[in-house]
């Protein structure tokens, strides 16, 4: 019974955050609602016994991605804000798309009968570590390469355009 | 113990909310927020299935990879948006309709 109450608490927060982002016109408020959604999903992970995943969710998402988004807002929202509210025609299409998707998804979910009842949470961090370095070793190494590529790509894409001139001047001075 | 169905329904609602955010917003960063919603819905599904299903820990490990991919995607997307902003001084994606080098 307590589990159901906690689930509905977190689920309400997550759905409220989504609706608030949908209706909000203020980008920083959207980022904070995103943080609320991420924390409530982390709470759901804790509820399901995935403790390590919940911690990682808070660390990486709330501590990394959400802060990155806020930084992105600060760096880009100096001038006229883009349109954040859809026009009436767009809102109509949006409602139709959302309604059709939900009408397709919810009945198919309700027809699913899980074969097992919930497993008792006996998994530990050590088990996840063994799984990562055993069964999922290939994807694990690929993920490390991907992170390196993302790091280099982001640094390359976000570099300022001017320092090319400065580098040439510096090269000239060292040649002298 | 709660069943699988509430988690799946919540995940479906989060997915639809993410898609709605992506469709309705014109700000690139707000669209990125919608993408995060969709990725979280997928990861929630994976963890719920791993609790109720076949592979004991595969779902959790896959959700871990989803988080890693989401972080990498957010970094690269923000770098692209910064570039976009330096080029045309806005993050309104409707302005990005010219494909010139």
Q: Pick the residue of A4, A138, A154, A160 with the most B CBs within 10 A to test the interface with B by mutation.
A: A154
Which of A131, A132, A160 to probe by mutation at the B interface, max B CB count within 10 Å? A131
> With pLDDT > 70 as the criterion, what percentage of chain A qualifies?
80
Structural domain boundaries, residue B30 = 5-92
Compare CB distances from B61 to A102, A136, A154 and report the shortest one's residue: A136
Q: Where are the domains of chain A?
A: 1-78, 123-176
In a domain, residue B97? The reply is no
Inter-chain touch B27–A82, beta carbons under 8 Å: yes
In a domain, B24, yes or no: yes
Q: Please indicate, yes or no, if residue B79 is contained in any of the structural domains.
A: yes
Q: Which residues of B touch A117 (CB under 8 A)?
A: 1, 3, 52
Q: Is any Cβ of chain A less than 8 angstroms from the Cβ of B39?
A: no
CA distances from A168 to A29, A66, A165 (A): 43, 37, 5
Comparing CA positions, the residue from A144, A18, A17, A72 lying closest to residue B64 is A144
pLDDT at B54: 57
* Torsion region of A49: left, alpha or beta (phi above 0 gives left; psi -120 to 50 gives alpha): left
Q: Whole-prediction pTM value?
A: 0.86
Instruction: Give the per-residue pLDDT at B12.
Output: 95
Task: State whether the Cα torsion A63-B38-B10-B4 is positive or negative.
Answer: negative
B residues 55-84 lying closer than 8 A (beta carbon) to A: 56-58, 60-61, 63-65, 67-76, 78-83
Burial A68-80 (b: 16+ CB within 10 A, else e): bbbebbebbbeee
pLDDT (0 to 100) of residue A83: 62
Q: What average pLDDT score do residues B15-29 get?
A: 90
Mean pLDDT of chain A: 83
Asked if A3 lies within 8 A of B9 by C-beta distance, the reply is: no
Using a CB-CB cut-off of 8 Å, the residues of chain B touching A91 are 24
Q: What ipTM does this complex have?
A: 0.90
pLDDT at B21 over 60: yes
B35/A contact by beta carbon, under 8 A: no
- How much of chain B is in helix, strand and coil states, percent to nearest 5? 80, 0, 20
The answer to the question of residue B17 being in a domain is yes
Q: Does some domain include residue B68?
A: yes
Residue B67: predicted pLDDT: 93
Which residue, among A24, A158, A159, would best test binding to B if mutated, counting the most B CBs under 10 Å from its CB? A158
CATH code, domain carrying B24: 1.10.287.3510
Which of the four pLDDT bands, split at 50, 70 and 90, describes residue B37? very high
pLDDT tens digit string along A29-71? 899 999 999 999 999 999 988 889 999 999 998 888 888 888 8
Please answer whether residues B68 and A144 qualify as being in contact, where contact means their C-beta atoms are separated by less than 8 angstroms: no
Residue pLDDT tens, chain A, 176 long: 888 999 999 999 999 999 999 988 888 889 999 999 999 999 999 998 888 999 999 999 888 888 888 888 888 766 555 666 677 788 888 889 999 999 999 999 888 776 666 665 566 788 888 888 988 999 999 999 999 999 999 888 878 766 555 555 555 554 44
Given the candidates 1.20.120.1200, 3.20.20.140, 3.40.47.10, 3.30.870.10, the CATH classification of the domain at A1-78 is 1.20.120.1200
What is the rounded CA–CA span in Å between residue A141 and residue A59?
21
Please state the domain count of chain B. 1
Residue B99 forms part of a structural domain? no
3 state DSSP class of B92: strand
Q: Where are the alpha helices (DSSP H) in A24-115?
A: 27-47, 51-56, 66-76, 88-110
């Amino acid at each position: 019974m307590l589990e159901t109450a906690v689930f509905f608490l977190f689920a309400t927060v997550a759905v409220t955050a989504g609706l608030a982002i949908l209706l909000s016109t203020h980008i920083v408020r959207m980022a904070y609602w995103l943080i609320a959604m991420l924390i409530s999903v982390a709470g759901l992970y804790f509820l399901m016994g995935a403790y390590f995943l919940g911690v990682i969710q808070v660390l990486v998402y709330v501590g990394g991605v959400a802060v990155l988004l806020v930084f992105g807002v600060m760096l880009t929202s100096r001038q006229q804000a883009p349109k954040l509210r859809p026009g009436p025609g767009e809102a109509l299409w949006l409602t139709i798309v959302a309604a059709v998707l939900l009408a397709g998804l919810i009945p198919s979910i309700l027809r699913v009968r899980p074969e097992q009842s919930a497993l008792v949470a006996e998994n530990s961090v050590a088990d996840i570590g063994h799984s990562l370095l055993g069964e999922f070793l290939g994807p694990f190494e690929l993920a490390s390469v991907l992170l390196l590529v993302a790091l280099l790509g982001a640094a390359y894409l976000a570099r300022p355009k001017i320092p090319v001139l400065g580098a040439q001047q510096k090269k000239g001075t060292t040649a002298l | 113990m709660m069943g699988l169905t509430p988690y799946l329904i919540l995940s479906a609602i989060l997915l639809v909310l993410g898609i709605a955010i992506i469709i309705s917003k014109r700000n690139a960063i707000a669209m990125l927020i919608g993408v995060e919603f969709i990725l979280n819905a997928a990861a929630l599904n994976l963890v719920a299935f791993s609790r109720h299903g076949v592979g004991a820990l595969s779902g959790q490990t896959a959700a871990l990879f989803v988080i890693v991919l989401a972080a990498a995607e957010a970094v690269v997307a923000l770098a692209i948006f910064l570039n976009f902003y330096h080029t045309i001084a806005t993050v309104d994606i409707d302005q990005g309709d010219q494909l010139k080098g």
